[in-house]
Amino acid sequence: MAVNVKRPNGTEDILPKDVHKWHTVEKIARETAESFGFSEIRIPTFENTELFMRSVGETTDVVQKEMYTVTAKETKFTLRPEGTAGTIRAMLQNGLLNEALPQRVYYILSCFRHERPQAGRLREFHQFGLEMAGSQAPSADAEVISLAKSILDRLGLKNIELYINSIGCPTCRAKYHEALRSYFEARKDELCETCHERLEKNPMRILDCKSPVCQEITKDAPVILDYLCEECGDHFEKLKKYLTGLNIDFKVNPKIVRGLDYYTKTVFEFVTTEIGAQGTVCGGGRYDGLIEQLGGQKVPALGFAMGIERLLIVMDKQNSEFLTPRTCDVYFSTMGDNALEKAMQISHELREFGYRAEFDLMGRGIKAQMKYANKMGSVFTVVIGDNELENGSVRVKEMETGNEVEIALDDKFRANFESLYFNKMMNSLEDDELLNNLTNGENK
């Protein structure tokens, strides 16, 4: 019986030819977050199921339909469907919230949801996200949104629109829930089965329903902005003022509620129309009650997450440029055992100083070796044979130009090669507009 060795449905392999695209996104996201004072955190792939039940919300699609949960010795574990709950748990458990506030952390991780696989929506997907805990000021909201926009801008994304909304606090939201129940009760029979339960437990979830019928019904539903209390209304007005002062364009969309129950006050999304229905490339907001809900003190917090797969889809569609993938710095083409041994010694020394050096491991002829070096994009090639060993020198060939320089095979070989390599790289950097844009003029 043949073994099924295909990857699971809804997952993707990231091949060596594409990984430089991921490195581009990850590099820019990390550097931008760190420039705003954020530090990296790493959390487990799975958590106790109760964590997501309490934080994400029992009436959300994530909890009701999408979580991967396993029971091991009567304990339920769930593969993380998102990053915030586990990150807040880690901050609580490790005492980060007892240190100076605000606490700022970011992460790059994989998440898991059982959904119908489609472009931009996989069962295993990857996120860049961050959380800021400690500040209730609307300036913190503007700071987080500004950070997200900075990442998108530095990646060179175009035609991305920012939508913001406020979904209020528990006080003003209670009145809004009453208005929603009254509105939806009149059309209860038309709602999908899932939304019947949402109507009782959390009617705002109906606004996020994917059913075309429910979406049509919600078009004339009451708007949360009409029910904000004075504090929430003032918070939202100041956020808009700060965004305007930062020259960040936005549109108010009162239908945004986000798909997770822990959100309060500010919610936002960066959206593109270039990848169909899955157009949200970044979403986030404030969750002032989550830390207390998970057993901590009353500490306000907010954050966002970006889907890396979706970002890459947009970048490919817009023909965005990526950082050049790292290739072989120098390939040693050898003839004979003595030459191979010398190539191994030199390669070992170069690698200790960070160079990517390779030599033939397949027993190819000299022409085949050179063809291989060219195919894999080696920057330089060096031919070593009996003559070179006898003369004590080799010719280092720059593959792009064909220029050759003779270097002695002595203890100064590395230093002389470094000089050649440095000049080549400096010439390349002067012409590399992409790298200048991506690094924002930083030291390369």
CATH number at residue 146: 3.30.930.10
Report the 3 state secondary structure along 259-283. Answer: CCCCCEEEEEEEECCCCCCCCEEEE
**Of 317, 338, 356, which marks where a domain is finished?**
317
Rounded alpha-carbon distances, angstroms, from residue 400 to 78, 122, 380, 383, 397: 51, 40, 8, 16, 9
Q: Which of 175-184, 231-240, 368-377 has the lowest mean pLDDT?
A: 175-184
pLDDT band at 48 (very low <50, low <70, confident <90, very high): very high
Domain match, 126 and 271 both = yes
- Residues 26, 120: one domain? yes
Closest CA to 421 of 409, 429, 411, 410: 429
- 335 with 271, same domain? no
State the Cα–Cα distance between residues 254 and 297, nearest whole angstrom.
30
Q: Is residue 224 included in any domain, yes or no?
A: no
Residue 107 has pLDDT above 60, yes or no: yes
Q: Is the pLDDT of residue 332 over 50?
A: yes
User: What is the reported pLDDT for 112?
Assistant: 94
| Cis peptide leading into residue 102 (ω within 30°) | yes
Residues 263 and 382 in one domain: no
Helix (H, G, I), strand (E, B) or coil at 314: helix
Q: Are residues 305 and 343 in the same domain?
A: no
Q: What's residue 157's pLDDT? A: 94
Query: Do 110 and 156 reside in the same domain of the chain?
Result: yes
Lowest mean pLDDT segment, chosen from 18-27, 84-93, 252-261, 398-407:
252-261
Strands 264-271 and 280-286: antiparallel
Q: Do 156 and 67 belong to one domain?
A: yes
In this prediction, residue 433 carries a pLDDT of 52
Highest mean pLDDT among 1-5, 261-265, 323-327, 413-417: 413-417
Q: d(Cα 141, Cα 149) in Å, to the nearest integer?
A: 12
The stretch 286-314 carries a mean pLDDT of 95
Question: Residues 239, 374: one domain?
Answer: no
Identify whether 90 is part of a domain.
yes
Q: What DSSP line would sit under 14-61, residue for residue?
A: --TTTHHHHHHHHHHHHHHHHHTT-EE----SEEEHHHHHHHT-TTSH
Q: In which order are the strands placed within the sheet that holds 69-72?
A: 46-48, 75-79, 69-72
Query: Across the chain, what does the average pLDDT equal?
Result: 91
Residues with Cβ within 8 Å of residue 344, at least 6 apart in sequence: 359
**Average pLDDT for 26-46:** 98
Nearest CA to 312 out of 116, 152, 436 is that of 152
Count CA within 13 A, CB hemisphere, residue 204: 24
Q: Kindly state whether residue 443 falls inside one of the protein's structural domains.
A: no
Which of 291, 317, 343 delimits the end of a domain? 317
Name the domain count of the chain.
2
Q: 230 and 242 in contact (C-beta within 8 Å)?
A: no
Does the global pTM surpass 0.75?
A: yes
Q: What is the CATH number of the domain that holds 385?
A: 3.40.50.800
CA distance 150 to 135: 21
260 pLDDT tier (thresholds 50, 70, 90): low
In this model, does residue 59 exceed pLDDT 80? no
For residue 336, the enclosing domain spans: 330-432
pLDDT > 90? residue 2:
no
The two beta strands, 75-79 and 69-72, are antiparallel
User: Is residue 268 included in any domain, yes or no?
Assistant: yes
- 398 - beta bridge partners? 380
Within-domain flag for 176: no
pLDDT at 442: 44
Poorest-confidence range of 34-43, 48-57, 382-391? 48-57
- State mean pLDDT over 109-132: 90
Asked if residue 299 and residue 369 are part of one domain, the reply reads no
Q: Tell whether 36 and 144 lie within a shared domain.
A: yes
256 Cβ partners below 8 Å, 6+ apart?
163, 164, 165, 167, 267, 268, 269
What totals of helices (H) and strands (E) does the chain contain, helices first? Answer: 16, 16
User: Do 63 and 141 lie in a common domain?
Assistant: yes
User: What pLDDT digit, counting tens, does each position of 168-218 carry?
Assistant: 998 998 899 899 999 999 888 899 988 888 888 888 888 878 789 998 998
Question: Angle at the Cα of 30 (from 40 to 103), degrees rounded to 5?
Answer: 40
Strands (E), 113-263: 124-133, 161-166, 251-252
Domain membership flag for residue 156:
yes
Last residue of a domain, one of 317, 343, 360: 317
Same domain for 54 and 157: yes
Q: How many CA atoms lie within 13 A of 225 on its CB side?
A: 13
Q: Is residue 147 domain-resident?
A: yes
The answer to whether position 117 is within a domain reads yes
Average pLDDT over residues 411-427: 90
pLDDT of residue 196: 86
